[in-house]
Amino acid sequence: MKKLTYFGVTVTLLCAIGGSALAAEESVVSTEAANTLQLNINTVWTCIAAFLVFFMQAGFAMVETGFTRAKNAVNIMMKNLMDFSIGTVAFFLVGFGLMFGATNGLFGTTHFGLTGADWTGGDWNFTFLIFQTVFAGTAATIVSGAMAERTKFRGYLAYSVFICAFIYPIFGSWAWGGLLDGNGWLERLGFVDFAGSTVVHSIGGWLALAGAMVLGPRLGKYGPDGRPRAIPGHNIALAALGVFILWFGWFGFNPGSTTLGDGEIGRVAVTTNLAAAAGAIAALFTAWGITRKPDGSMALNGALAGLVAITAPCYTVSGMGALLIGLVAGVLVVLSVYFIDHIIKADDPVGAVSVHGVCGAWGTLSCGLFNLDGGLFYGHGFKLLGIQSVGVLAAFVWAFGLGLVMFYLIKKTVGLRVTEEEETRGLDIGEHGMEAYSGFQIFTTQ
């Protein structure tokens, strides 16, 4: 009996051990399957977000066209097409490596042309590249609006290369390099810019300011007394359509920057939407108080200002924080437009410097105030605000300083500004030999 008992116990133990091993093996397989599924969800979501951000190119084209005159519509469309096309190639060949390659302390030194990638497989780097490419295109196209209606097309093509290949990626490596193989000095400090208020928007905005200043104002913008004159856009309906497209695309820009297919997408979408709405409301009433009219163009730019401002803190603030950030941005964009027009006297037809440069800086600084973890208003002191200030200042010095040099060199070489005759007739005819609204314009190609 004892032998049978021992035998039974032994069999029971062996079955238990075998069952545990089988359960452990099944658990490993289950974990691997879950990880593979999550990676695939992340890839799909990040690609969808990239496609939404790409659609923002259409939004920028509509906004810039609507806020400028009909005789320059083809030129605006061509610039938005070509800055993304040229930017795509420049970022693939050079910019991506400078931004996300293994760093030498200042910029990346690997991944140029995505070397080493398996072009027969589904490497994550392909998804990451397309997502970052559309961000680079956004930084480049911001400049287009501020320099509209008087820039030589070939000059524009030249600076599109430099922005996407060098200026944007090198600053990006300081703040975001660690997303792949880099380790930038700003991110080591603890700088926060979740989706690019500074990295994308302020860099584009400060370059736009440099370009507008080197280029000079449009003919007739300032009278003999130095006072600015309004040069109305030809189609506010187009501009409004562009803003709605951009608002829609921002749900890829900010929530997409999680690169994770989970519940955080919804949270970031909520903060993004709240700030945009608050920005539109604040800009409307600010302009209404100044001009005694509910200015539609200011309200549209207010929505964009709120979106730009929330881009840095969208992941790290509450809903109430997002509302306040958007409200401040809406007020700030209106005041900034008047300041740039009347004091600096830089002719910015679409308000790009105010929306992207100024409100991008505000959004980045707001992290130091409203971040739930580290913000001054949540009892965490001034440390994060100081770090954010360093990042904002570094972006301005880098982009505005290099922008002045770059635009001056272009001006002296390939040329930056069209002739007075071409500007008067319109760039559609002078630069492209065609009209956006054939048969409806004063000038012809004859």
383-432 confidence digits (pLDDT tens): 999 999 999 999 999 999 999 999 999 999 999 999 999 999 999 999 99
Rounded Cα distance, 323 and 335, in Å: 19
Strand partners, 417: 151
The residue to which tokens 């974990």 are assigned? 31
Which tokens belong to 39?
Answer: 């990676």
Residue with tokens 């001006």: 411
Dig out the tokens for 416 from the structure.
């930056």
SS3 222: strand
| Rounded Cα gap, residues 432 and 442, in angstroms | 16
Burial class (CB in 10 A: 0-12, 13-18, 19+), 301: buried
Distance CA 444, CA 446 (A): 5
How many C-beta atoms surround the C-beta of residue 1 within 10 A? 5
- Residues 6+ positions from 443 with CB-CB distance below 8 Å: 71, 425, 426, 429, 435
Longest dimension (CA), the chain: 117
**What is the value of pTM for the model shown?**
0.91
Quote the distance between the C-alpha of residue 84 and its chain's center. 13
The pLDDT value recorded for residue 117 is 85
Name residues of the chain where pLDDT drops below 50: 1-4, 7, 9, 11, 13-14, 444-446
Residue 232: left if φ>0, alpha if ψ -120 to 50, beta else—which one? beta
Report CA torsion sign: 348, 351, 356, 362: positive
Q: Which residues pair with 103 in a beta bridge?
A: 108
Provide the pLDDT for residue 22.
55
In this prediction, residue 120 carries a pLDDT of 86
Predicted pLDDT at 4: 44
Q: How far apart are CA 57 and CA 61, in angstroms?
A: 6
- Could you report the per-residue pLDDT of 101-155, keeping only the tens digit for each? 999 989 999 999 998 888 988 889 999 999 999 999 999 999 999 999 999 999 9
Inter-CA distances, 126 with 109, 111, 211, Å: 18, 11, 33
Q: What is the pLDDT of residue 438?
A: 81
Residue 272 identity: T
| Whole-angstrom distance, CA of residue 132 vs CA of residue 405 | 26
Estimate to the nearest angstrom the gap between the alpha carbon of 259 and the chain centroid: 16
What SS3 state is found at 228?
strand
Cβ atoms of residues 416 and 431 within 8 Å: no
- DSSP category for residue 14: H
DSSP 93: I
